[in-house]
């Protein structure tokens, strides 16, 4: 199984966000904008998320190897959800394989 497919699957599992009030969305975007000044963007995080999760699955200290990603996951709820969904998918894949 291809990791990109896993990511896409993980992404599709995320619940739709249309019930969020506009205020909340705007506030959230402002937080993201501020975070983006110094941190990696969500797209950059997203492109490295599979690496990060794989690192973690290998029982390496992913937070130490990729501290910027860990930092971003702490402040960005959206990426954190992607990360958790991906981790969940991969953990199940691992288990099925064994
Ligand atoms: Zn993000």
- Here the tokens at position 24 are 């909340």
Sign of CA dihedral 17, 21, 27, 30: positive
Q: Are 3 and 95 in contact (CB under 8 A)?
A: no
Work out the pLDDT band at 12, boundaries 50, 70, 90: confident
pLDDT tens-place string over residues 57-83: 887 899 998 999 999 999 999 999 999
Closest residue by Cα to residue 45 from 65, 68, 62: 68
Question: Distance, CA 96 to ligand 1 centroid (Å)?
Answer: 30
Q: How confident is the model at residue 96, as a pLDDT? A: 72
Tens of pLDDT along 46-58? Answer: 999 999 999 988 8
Structure tokens at 36: 């983006």
Higher pLDDT, residue 46 or 37:
46
| Ligand 1 centroid, distance to 59 Cα (angstroms) | 23
Euclidean distance between CA atoms 41 and 7, whole angstroms: 17
Instruction: Look at residue 14 and give its three-state secondary structure.
Output: coil
- Say what the pLDDT of residue 25 is: 79
């Amino acid at each position: 199984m291809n990791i990109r497919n896993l990511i896409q699957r993980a992404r599709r599992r995320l619940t739709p966000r249309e019930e969020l009030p506009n205020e909340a969305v705007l506030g959230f975007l402002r937080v993201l904008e501020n975070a983006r000044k110094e941190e990696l963007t969500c797209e950059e995080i997203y492109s490295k998320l599979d690496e990060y999760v794989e690192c973690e699955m290998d029982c390496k200290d992913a937070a130490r190897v990729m501290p910027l990603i860990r930092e971003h996951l702490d402040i960005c709820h959206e990426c954190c959800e992607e990360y958790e969904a991906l981790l969940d998918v991969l953990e199940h894949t691992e288990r099925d394989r064994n």
